Structure 1
């Protein structure tokens, strides 16, 4: 069964490794249900109640309302790094289990919680997480950004289709699967280490953000002209 293992929120803290004065990357599991709603298009606002975002330029807003990372990958990194990695330590709001986030499709939708509840939280897969200096500084692992990028299992951001509450133990069900093959893993590789994959994103054009769509279309034009 695919489910939420923990719901994590972070308070603003002044850290020397952060790109901005305050950061909320140090997230801890919350007790009880947590409200989730669409924060609006402005960056710097989380969709998860009580969660702080310090880097207003690069984080937050509707497409990054919620960030999910899977426990299975935390366990793997735990073994490779030789240290304890508790839920929330990668800055994720939802630590999931039983769902391969590298293979989820851009634009697919999830219902989280009781399916009989017509007001259950509904989320949509949007973009992969791009590692940054704050993430690297928080983990204090040398070469972390490069290593995390090469691993190409970045977790996924989610937008909020229908607001609701989420708590540890909630089941995650796929309620909509788009008709394309663009996974979060493919989107991440195409926009980071393997730009030659960009044309493959065209089939998911309607689900991409404006910046990525423009990048794909420029690549398409270049490829056609070059041919």
Structure 2
């Protein structure tokens, strides 16, 4: 864990229920990505009151109750694509500094306001991001870099405010970073040792456990 983790700052706190979003040429879709800054909200095991997702298959659930995105990446993407990005561009609830994918780990536990959350998985970015930003190359770049943000489960429910403190309560002893899991998932599909390392973290989200277990079984089963 790097020293910067001690200086975490909550830059933006957003929630929002699914609504229609226009994109492209006269197209629209129902999505929960267009969240809005809020003063405070109560965080339950299922997520924030007043927050929601449209695609229940790929989003939401106990292992994906809170979405986090590092604020530092906004500067990177805005410079790369020469385009300002709105707050909560990626549909995240929490936009933070000093919690980069390389510096946080699956199973790390954080105090967030009155609540306690635990990192469970990297985020698998979807095409909704492209539709919202109108930047087709962005999705590919997020996957290339591993700068996807990540998801958390709720260990203790409680109120979160826009000026809430975020503090690391308990770093996970296995120190498997979100960036490592992203690189493995997206770029090293045949890395048996890496898959075993990630699966060795008991707190990994069930969805990722199933995906990586299937991958491992295919790689290690006799032909």
Q: Does 1:8 align with 2:14?
A: yes
Shift of 1:17: 5.0
Q: Which residue of 2 aligns with 1:35?
A: 42
Give the whole-Å Cα distance in 2 for the aligned partners of 1:154 and 1:198: 23
Give the length in aligned residue pairs. 212
Q: Residues 199 and 216 of structure 1 are in contact (CA less than 8 Å); yes or no, is this contact kept in structure 2? A: no
Q: Residues 124 and 160 of structure 1 are in contact (CA less than 8 Å); yes or no, is this contact kept in structure 2? A: yes
Give the whole-Å Cα distance in 1 for the aligned partners of 2:206 and 2:75: 34
Q: Residues 9 and 98 of structure 2 are in contact (CA less than 8 Å); yes or no, is this contact kept in structure 1? A: yes
More strand by share: 2
2:136 match: secondary structure = coil
Q: Residues 107 and 178 of structure 1 are in contact (CA less than 8 Å); yes or no, is this contact kept in structure 2? A: yes
Q: Residues 67 and 155 of structure 1 are in contact (CA less than 8 Å); yes or no, is this contact kept in structure 2? A: yes
Q: Which moved more, 1:154-163 or 1:7-16?
A: 7-16
Give the whole-Å Cα distance in 2 for the aligned partners of 1:215 and 1:59: 15
1:172 to 154, 166, 173: 166
1:207 match: secondary structure = coil
1:169 match: secondary structure = coil
Q: Residues 4 and 96 of structure 1 are in contact (CA less than 8 Å); yes or no, is this contact kept in structure 2? A: yes
2:33 to 25, 30, 35: 25
Q: Which residue of 2 aligns with 1:64?
A: 64
Residues 84 and 207 of structure 1: is their aligned pair in 2 closer, same or farther, counting only changes over 3 Å?
Answer: same
Q: Residues 63 and 206 of structure 2 are in contact (CA less than 8 Å); yes or no, is this contact kept in structure 1? A: no
Residues 211 and 89 of structure 1: is their aligned pair in 2 closer, same or farther, counting only changes over 3 Å?
Answer: closer
Give the whole-Å Cα distance in 1 for the aligned partners of 2:136 and 2:29: 22
TM-score of the aligned structures, taking structure 2 as reference length: 0.84
Q: Which residue of 1 aligns with 2:3?
A: none
Q: Residues 7 and 167 of structure 1 are in contact (CA less than 8 Å); yes or no, is this contact kept in structure 2? A: yes
Residues 212 and 89 of structure 1: is their aligned pair in 2 closer, same or farther, counting only changes over 3 Å?
Answer: closer
Shift of 1:225: 6.1
Alignment of 1:178-217 (within 5 A): 178-205=172-199, 206-217=202-213
Shift of 1:188: 1.4
Q: Which residue of 2 aligns with 1:83?
A: 83
Q: Does 1:51 align with 2:51?
A: yes
Q: Residues 192 and 219 of structure 2 are in contact (CA less than 8 Å); yes or no, is this contact kept in structure 1? A: no
Q: Does 1:130 align with 2:124?
A: yes
Residues 190 and 50 of structure 1: is their aligned pair in 2 closer, same or farther, counting only changes over 3 Å?
Answer: same
